[in-house]
Amino acid sequence: MTASVSRIIAKSNIAFGTSGARGLVVDFTDQHCAAFAQAFIEVMRNTFSFNSIAIGIDNRPSSVAMAAACAGMAQALGLQVSYYGVLPTPALAYKAMQDKVPAIMVTGSHIPFDRNGLKFYRPDGEISKADEQAIQVVESVLVPFLPVMSIVDKAGVEAYIQRYLAVFAKDCLAGKHIGIYEHSSAGRDIYQPIFEALGAKVTPLERTDTFVPIDTEAVTREDQVKGINWSNQYGFDAIFSTDGDGDRPLIADENGQWLRGDIVGLLCAKALGIQSLAVPVSCNTAIEQAGVFSKVVRTKIGSPYVIAAFEHLSGSVAGFEANGGFLLGSEVIVSGQRLKALPTRDALLPGLALLALAGEQPLSHLTQALPQRYTASDRLQQVPTQWSKDFLATAALDPKELIAQLGQSARVVKSVDQTDGLRLQFADGDIVHLRPSGNAPELRCYTESVDQVDASNLVQVILNAVKGLLK
């Protein structure tokens, strides 16, 4: 007897995290990909009417075969497939939303090379946590299918490019020299033409044939050195890059210093005149201290939670995450033109908005004008998720014991926040936040202090202490 879709998904070793379904590449078999695609389509048909689906991929070698399995299932269910090939996730989401069709993006974003994932979009935007639950319990029998590869349609990329060229002034980047760190980003073929069309001189940097899992929340020492060296060599006004699927920006100032994602989000929201914000609990407290926004709501980490909070905000609405991904929750006016909402993480909008906001002044001047609160983050990899959960649950019962274990016994805990993981604020204003990653077996640590070096050092002290407890 043919297994039900829910049973196939349950036995796949693939699970939903903070951003789509993720797992090892070896677990994304044709059958597993098709089961997820069928379940997603059936759940969408309960609410929406559509006769086609949009599919896109990142540059991981495994993504092509996964897309073929999803496309084959979509055709078996009677849908036409618009296959947009390699493109940024926000580009796929935007095109699908304009066409009012669902979409599947095959991407593992920033997670290691041996993993991949599936992101799902409703015709009106990202799926919700309720949608995720519904996808996992579809009891239909798996429909017979054959993987199929379609001809790449460039309309997805073209719509995304036009989205920004239509609203930003044609000379807004005139006189600027921008480095584009291309690596294996899904958007690497479109960023240079966009920046050049807006007047910038562009120098492409380090395109790779192998996939590079860049994590914008945990920039490697190697990439930190690259940013400084490139800036010294070329005299850039800024360096722009993204994670693997182009939904999280990585931006360096004129000194080659990579900006923290939540600072990028704060500056982007300021540039767009946003009134109400939804941001995860892990973001920099400079957001509130800046006094720019009429309302700021703190959420659990993950774009679905940020998007859900939009319903309770008014005026011009946006959100962003500590990783820099910017979500535009309402239409805004840019240079006198209407920019449509795009309530999913986007890397390109904050890049363009920051450079336009800076004008002739250096990017570093924008950050210096903000309240001087500094954040840092890093992660311990290959930490079993259940161990992290158990560790933090126990720690929440006795924070004093935790800070002693972490070598911080001289500190006084002022407040404890369990919105997502365990976030401790100390009497001296420093913050330590620990949580399991929602996408991989990793324990993440976020810190905040009045000095960047102190924040960075605190991350390493905490993670080294946790590493000792693991042993």
How many Å apart are CA 66 and CA 107, to the nearest integer?
A: 10
Asked whether 147 and 30 are in contact (CB, 8 A), the reply is yes
The partner residues of 117 in beta bridges, in order of sequence, read 22
DSSP notation for 115-183:
EEEEEEEETTEEPPHHHHHHHTT--PBPPP-----PPPPTHHHHHHHHHHHTTS-TTTTTT-EEEEEEE
Q: Which residue has the tokens 């905040």?
A: 448
109: annotated active-site residue = yes
How many Å apart are CA 55 and CA 150, to the nearest integer?
A: 10
How many Å apart are CA 58 and CA 215, to the nearest integer?
A: 15
Q: Which residue has the tokens 């930003």?
A: 168
Length of the chain: 471
**Which residue is catalytic, options 12, 19, 62, 109?**
109
How many Å apart are CA 202 and CA 182, to the nearest integer?
A: 12
Asked whether 19 and 67 are in contact (CB, 8 A), the reply is no
Phi and psi dihedrals of 224, rounded to 5? -60, -45
How many Å apart are CA 276 and CA 90, to the nearest integer?
A: 22
How many Å apart are CA 121 and CA 20, to the nearest integer?
A: 10
| Nearest alpha-carbon partner for 278 in 243, 238, 318, 250 | 318
Residues with catalytic function: 109
